[in-house]
Amino acid sequence: MTNNSGKSPVLLIDDEAEIRRAWEETLHLQNFMPQSFEDAEAAITTLQTDWPGVVLTDLRMPGMDGFGVLEAVKRIDPKIPVIIVTGHGDIPMATKAVRLGAYDFIEKPADPEMLLAVVGRACELRRLILENRCLINRSDDGYRIENHIIGNHPKIERLRQKTTVVAGSDVNTIIYGETGTGKELVARALHELGPRKNGPFVAINCGALQETLIASELFGHESGAFTGADRRHIGKLEQASGGTLFLDEIESMPLSQQTQLLRALQGQTIERLGGKSPINIDVRVVAAAKEDLEQASEESRFRPDLYYRLAVATLTIPPLRERGEDIALLFVHYVSSACSKHGLKIPEISEISLDELRGKSWPGNVRELVNAAERYALQLESMSTGFDRFDASMSLPDQMDAFEKKVISSALRRCEGKVQETADYLDIPRKKLYLRMQYHNIDKRDFVDGA
């Protein structure tokens, strides 16, 4: 869906008519295109993938509340920014909404300047997201696999060659690789280089779903199919019809769901939970696993018939430690990408620093390297001390908290304690930065005038 008016649409949802009118007037004056609704469910029906605007919704409403709006919008397009408006007493709930994926929250009564600033930033983010999607989907420009699966090591060259061949065969495929090696990148390459490139690419992480939700996510459900199913939900298999379904961490899928998946792939038909009519699908499945599924099937931990249905072709991604000559190339590439993204000058990277990188084991593989490159590009840590700083005796949450506190403190020091400038620098909403500063007991005054 495109918007040719030059105005960014804003979907307003609030059960109080006076508040809706006030929001509309404020947004109209600043060249936005507001559309207001009293009923959240009616508002959601107007949205679709690639809708070019943002959603501004009250938190407490009869029927579907702000959390329900957020969940419904994420199902339609997870990249549509949702801004929550809340009373002062509901700030903990608004913070929870941010953790669940809301773009930002605003306290009532909403200050007009703050409202316009937050909505403006959200609209700009949405515009950039849609522009990026257009660039990715321009099939006439061609998809160059070497721009996505990067490296000069012979193992990577062979992976690119085999991926290109398998992509053209349009068969179900299993991708093996450790965490962080780039299994989804290879899955996308199979899609982009194959005959289904103009169809959808739909991804689902089987390991991140509760067992009770997997069937609903895969097959969908009708309204009333179970407690809480208040509307129809289109499952991933149906969404991916005509394209590719990427099943990450498939080894974690329960055996009962494997049986249902096998039946769907054999017949290329599904039934939504609570439905009575079969629905035809046309899906290519690319599955990713960290362990050998053939061995798992021999040990009765994975269905052998599903394994053979999926393993028409297999691809294996080498861990980063097995292609050490690519480490420097990848690091420079991702530092450059991060600097371009943040509008920064590329910092000098010495050969001594690169040697240091080559000597690391990189248990997190390319994902860990990308994270290190981003930190280096932002000059948050030096090469010699930053990567091995955390105490191994600390718990993972404590290590994450320590790292986040350091990132925020370094950015505040760089921006001389200016919170809005720091939020822009870190590319996060100002409210979210304030909340994280409060959580870590960080005082902006400690960073003023070089303090």
CATH number, residue 50: 3.40.50.2300
Question: Going by C-beta distance under 8 Å and a sequence separation of 6 or more, which residues neighbour residue 339?
Answer: 345, 346, 347, 377
CATH number, domain of 186, equals 3.40.50.300
pLDDT in tens, 171-205: 999 999 999 999 999 999 999 999 999 999 999 99
- Return the SS3 of 53: coil
Q: Which two tokens stand for residue 367?
A: 């994902």
In a domain, 62, yes or no: yes
Task: Let me know whether 160 and 216 are in one domain.
Answer: yes
Query: For the chain, what percent of residues have pLDDT higher than 90?
Result: 41
| DSSP three-state, residue 175 | strand
Instruction: Note whether residue 435 is domain-resident.
Output: yes
pTM of the prediction? Answer: 0.55
Q: 443 by DSSP, 3-state: which?
A: coil
* 152 shares its domain with 104: no
Q: Does residue 3 form part of some domain?
A: no
The residue among 284, 318, 352 that closes a domain is: 318
Same domain, 44 and 27: yes
Give the integer Cα–Cα distance in Å for 178 and 322: 12
Alpha carbons within 13 angstroms on the beta-carbon side of residue 24 total 14
Are 314 and 345 in a shared domain?
Answer: no
Q: What CA–CA distance (Å, rounded) separates 58 from 53?
A: 17
- Specify if 350 maps to a domain: yes
Q: Is the preceding omega at residue 112 within 30 degrees of 0, hence cis?
A: no
Query: Which of these three, 318, 345, 378, is where a domain ends?
Result: 318
Burial call 374-384: b when 16+ CB within 10 Å, e when fewer: bbbbbebbebe
Number of domains in the chain: 3
What pLDDT score does 436 carry?
87
Same domain, 282 and 369: no
Is 85 among the domain residues? yes
- Answer yes or no: do 120 and 202 share one domain: no
173 to each of 85, 169, 191, 280, 307, how far by Cα in Å?
45, 10, 11, 21, 10
User: How far lies 389's CA from each of 294, 372, 440, in Å?
Assistant: 39, 12, 19
Chosen domain end from 283, 303, 318: 318
Question: Which of 179, 156, 176 lies closest to 287, judged by CA?
Answer: 176
Q: What pLDDT tens digit does each residue of the chain (451 aa) get?
A: 445 456 889 999 999 899 999 999 999 888 899 999 999 999 999 999 889 999 999 998 988 999 999 999 999 998 899 999 987 677 788 788 888 888 888 888 888 888 898 898 888 888 877 775 664 554 345 678 888 898 888 999 999 999 999 999 999 999 999 999 999 999 999 999 999 999 999 999 988 888 778 888 898 888 877 777 778 888 899 999 999 999 999 999 999 889 999 999 999 999 888 888 899 999 999 999 999 999 999 999 999 999 999 999 999 999 999 998 788 888 888 888 888 888 887 777 765 577 678 778 899 999 999 999 998 888 876 554 344 444 445 666 777 777 788 778 877 877 778 888 888 878 788 888 888 898 888 988 877 754 4
In a domain, residue 1? The reply is no
Residues 240 and 328 both lie in one domain: no
Same domain, 228 and 263: yes
Range of the domain at 111: 9-136
Which residue has tokens 């194959």? 194
In this structure, are 380 and 314 located in the same domain? no
Three-state DSSP class for residue 249:
coil
* Inter-CA distances, 427 with 30, 65, 102, 419, Å: 23, 28, 14, 12
**Is 4 part of any domain?**
no
- Is residue 141 in a domain? no
* Residues 75 and 172 reside in one and the same domain: no
Does residue 327 share a domain with residue 310? no
Q: Give tens-digit pLDDT for 30-81.
A: 889 999 999 999 999 999 988 999 999 999 898 899 999 999 999 999 889 9
Tokens 């052998």 correspond to: 304
- 295 and 223 in a common domain: yes
* Structural contact between residues 358 and 387, judged by C-beta atoms closer than 8 angstroms: no
- pLDDT attached to residue 2: 42
* Cα–Cα distance for residue pair 36/23, rounded to 1 Å: 9
> What kind and span of H or E run contains 284?
strand 284-289
